[in-house]
Chains A and B, each alone.
Chain A
Amino acid sequence: MNANPDTILAVAGLTLARGPRHRPEILVDDLSLTIQAGEMLALVGESGSGKSLSAAAVFGLLPAGVRRIAGSIRLQGQELTGRSERALRAIRGRAMGLVFQNPLTALNPSLSVQAQIAEVYRVHRQGSRTAARARASALLAEVGLQDLSGPRDHYPHQLSGGMRQRAMIAMALACDPPLLVADEPTTALDVLVQAQILALLARLQRERGLAILFITHDLRLAARTADRLLVLYAGAIMEEGAVADVFEAPRHPYTKALKAAIPPLPATSQRLFEIPGLPPPPGPPPSGCRFAPRCGHVRPDCRDAVPPLRGAPARFACFHPCQDQ
């Protein structure tokens, strides 16, 4: 699968853990994914399922105490794991950009938006101060902030949440990276602005041929925006495939349960569906399928062995997949 020249990001067998070496707590277990140029892959999962941690691993910025114990991360065919901090610094921002969840805190309040975008060029030593400034203005116009592309400085507190998130996206795109990682980019925004930001991401994906890793807990949002879905549960892949397959006809009971948990529109007086129980805490996973304790379709053999990923074109990790609805 690495042979494809359009493959931007290829993660294989990524396993992240924390705690003592002899008894590590596995946080992300054997995660593999690929994203092609011009494709948006949505990483869907509950809080603590390892979505953001996986993104941090791609950037080589794991939080203290968390380490990668296996797996490879390839960006445009280049292996990123095992590189020095210095080498990674040259790649961050230049070959991959990141958009944060909360645009209110991700911008420095005492620096103008233009200066903050220009600083990405400066950090990567691309062009003079004035050139960086001009490119920042052009970028702001590209993400729909034409009003800010003039010579006057604009500070974050003068912008609305949606404008700030656009500015963040401009910052992430400053050095034309082939890969954009968007970590819950719309969670802090209201619904209308959410739709605008998603439309912007889709346009950039189309116009720039950008590969986007879209991290979200919102299955419906993911299905509406992304090309492919990857459903994570407790650090492991449950199901992966094109939106048409995974969302429209989920085979894994977890995906199906997630879909059923989407509140219906228009609202009915019915009680909302919820998945019973809580995700397992990090630590030695329950034997067998890790979703078994909460699964509505659980059978005795589910607890005996870990179901491997199988199926085509969509892959799922379940012994007793749901049949067509």
Chain B
Amino acid sequence: MTETRDATVGRGVAVRGRWSAVVGDISSLSLLGGALFTALGLFSWVGPLLYRHSDLAIHAHHILKAPDARFPLGTDALGRDVLARLMRGGQTTLAISLGATLIGLLGGLLYGMTSGMGPSWLDRTLMRLLDAVLAIPTLVMMIFFAAIVPLGPISLTLLLGLVSWPGLARVVRNEALAARGRDYVRAARQFGAGPLYIARVHLLRAMLPLIVVNATFLMADMILGLSGLSFLGLGIQPPHASWGGLLNSGAGLAVIGSWWLIVFPGLAIFLAILAMNMVGQGLLARREGP
């Protein structure tokens, strides 16, 4: 996928500029997804700088107000500004999801690389262990841990990270095994390269496209996972906001007509996951070819 299609043999042939080469290599689907996700990030972090209203302030005279000029997205049962809460909730949701994705990435890489590079007995042991971990449904595992640890942004990040690495570990291990047999990896060994060097320079490079694609899908999973936990009341604890938490507190009230309490957080979750899947899908299509 890294081939620049118009790079020709010899000198003096104009090769496209670096920037246009990068953009040209990324499909429009990925770009659109990336733009959407950037917009959500801006909404969450830059938004509060422009819309200066507290997400925790209680307006006792404006309870369950429908969207109007003063509260663009209405207020909740305690009279808090839904737009401000949506922005603050975006910060926690996106930051925790990103942190969990990074943990999953790191864990999956380390575990998969060890398994794929190591001796066959180690590989077999680690993979059977992974089978056992994968056999436990993710949500059940998360609920179990969420029930026994105090819930905060850090513990939630670790919790989601804990369940995110196994799938990636298997992908990395398979890629490492495949890349290990390639001639250039054998060549590197003949030139005296050690296993760590080969893992870092050759294997990681070979699997980078796949890792990027998987990371985007993983990120979407993490957003969904965190929102699911929050919806069950096991995520960020009130009064602090998260998208899933807003859904949870709004669910009962929406039935009696306060539609704005679930439509907007639901839309935010939907768009975030859609954006990540678009990025991933676009990269995947590029990797696999048209």
Contact surface of A with B, Cβ cutoff 8 Å: 59, 61, 86, 89-94, 97-98, 100, 102, 105-111, 119-120, 123-124, 147, 150, 152, 155, 157-160, 168, 171-172, 174
CA distance A97 to B188 in the complex (A): 11
Q: With both chains docked as a complex, state the minimum distance between the C-beta of A312 and any C-beta of chain B, in angstroms.
A: 35
B205 near A110: Cβ-Cβ < 8 Å: yes
Please, which residues of chain A bring their CB within 8 A of the CB of B9? 158-160
Known contacts being A152-B11, A158-B7, A159-B9, is A123 close to B191, with CB within 8 Å? yes
CA distance A133 to B188 in the complex (A): 17
Please, which residues of chain A bring their CB within 8 A of the CB of B189? 61, 92
Q: Which B185-212 residues have a C-beta within 8 angstroms of A?
A: 186-194, 197, 201-202, 205-206
Q: With both chains docked as a complex, state the minimum distance between the C-beta of B188 and any C-beta of chain A, in angstroms.
A: 8
CA distance A98 to B197 in the complex (A): 19
Known contacts being A59-B190, A89-B192, is A157 close to B3, with CB within 8 Å? yes
Q: With both chains docked as a complex, state the minimum distance between the C-beta of A40 and any C-beta of chain B, in angstroms.
A: 19
Known contacts being A108-B205, A110-B205, A152-B11, is A98 close to B3, with CB within 8 Å? no
Pick the 6 closest A-B CB pairs, nearest first. Answer: A93-B191, A93-B192, A105-B183, A92-B192, A98-B190, A106-B183
CA distance A106 to B185 in the complex (A): 8
1/0 per residue, CB under 8 A from A, across B1-27: the answer is: 011000111110000000000000000
1/0 per residue, CB under 8 A from A, across B262-290: the answer is: 00000000000000000000000000000
Closest to B3 in A: A157
Q: Which of B3, B8, B10, B184 contacts A108 (CB 8 A)?
A: B184
Known contacts being A100-B183, A158-B7, is A108 close to B202, with CB within 8 Å? yes
B192 near A90: Cβ-Cβ < 8 Å: yes
Closest to A172 in B: B191
Please, which residues of chain A bring their CB within 8 A of the CB of B197? 123
Most buried by A among B9, B11, B191, B206: B191
CA distance A159 to B9 in the complex (A): 6
CA distance A159 to B192 in the complex (A): 25
Q: With both chains docked as a complex, state the minimum distance between the C-beta of B204 and any C-beta of chain A, in angstroms.
A: 11
Please, which residues of chain A bring their CB within 8 A of the CB of B7? 155, 157-158
Q: With both chains docked as a complex, state the minimum distance between the C-beta of B13 and any C-beta of chain A, in angstroms.
A: 10
Q: List 28 A-B contacts (CB under 8 A).
A: A61-B190, A86-B194, A89-B194, A92-B190, A92-B191, A93-B190, A93-B192, A93-B193, A98-B187, A105-B183, A106-B183, A106-B184, A106-B187, A108-B184, A109-B184, A111-B201, A111-B205, A119-B188, A119-B191, A119-B201, A123-B193, A123-B197, A124-B192, A147-B10, A152-B11, A158-B9, A171-B191, A172-B191
Please, which residues of chain B bring their CB within 8 A of the CB of A94? 192
How many pairs, one residue from A and one from B, have CB atoms within 8 Å of each other in the complex? 80
CA distance A171 to B190 in the complex (A): 11
Please, which residues of chain A bring their CB within 8 A of the CB of B10? 147, 158
Closest to A96 in B: B190
Please, which residues of chain A bring their CB within 8 A of the CB of B188? 119, 123
B182 within 8 A of A: yes
Closest to B190 in A: A98
1/0 per residue, CB under 8 A from A, across B199-240: the answer is: 001100110000000000000000000000000000000000
CA distance A90 to B191 in the complex (A): 9
CA distance A160 to B9 in the complex (A): 9
Q: Which B15-61 residues have a C-beta within 8 angstroms of A?
A: none
Q: With both chains docked as a complex, state the minimum distance between the C-beta of B191 and any C-beta of chain A, in angstroms.
A: 4
CA distance A160 to B10 in the complex (A): 10
Q: With both chains docked as a complex, state the minimum distance between the C-beta of A307 and any C-beta of chain B, in angstroms.
A: 35
CA distance A177 to B135 in the complex (A): 52
Known contacts being A108-B202, A110-B206, A158-B9, is A102 close to B190, with CB within 8 Å? no
Most buried by B among A123, A152, A160: A123
Please, which residues of chain B bring their CB within 8 A of the CB of A102? 183
A97 near B191: Cβ-Cβ < 8 Å: yes
Most buried by B among A61, A102, A119, A172: A119
B183 near A120: Cβ-Cβ < 8 Å: no
B192 near A147: Cβ-Cβ < 8 Å: no
Q: With both chains docked as a complex, state the minimum distance between the C-beta of B40 and any C-beta of chain A, in angstroms.
A: 32
Q: Which B80-95 residues have a C-beta within 8 angstroms of A?
A: none
Q: With both chains docked as a complex, state the minimum distance between the C-beta of A152 and any C-beta of chain B, in angstroms.
A: 7
CA distance A216 to B193 in the complex (A): 26
Please, which residues of chain A bring their CB within 8 A of the CB of B191? 92-93, 97-98, 119-120, 123, 171-172, 174
Please, which residues of chain A bring their CB within 8 A of the CB of B201? 111, 119
Closest to A124 in B: B192
B192 near A91: Cβ-Cβ < 8 Å: yes
CA distance A109 to B184 in the complex (A): 9
Please, which residues of chain B bring their CB within 8 A of the CB of A98? 187, 190-191
Closest to A155 in B: B7
A107 near B3: Cβ-Cβ < 8 Å: no
Closest to A61 in B: B189
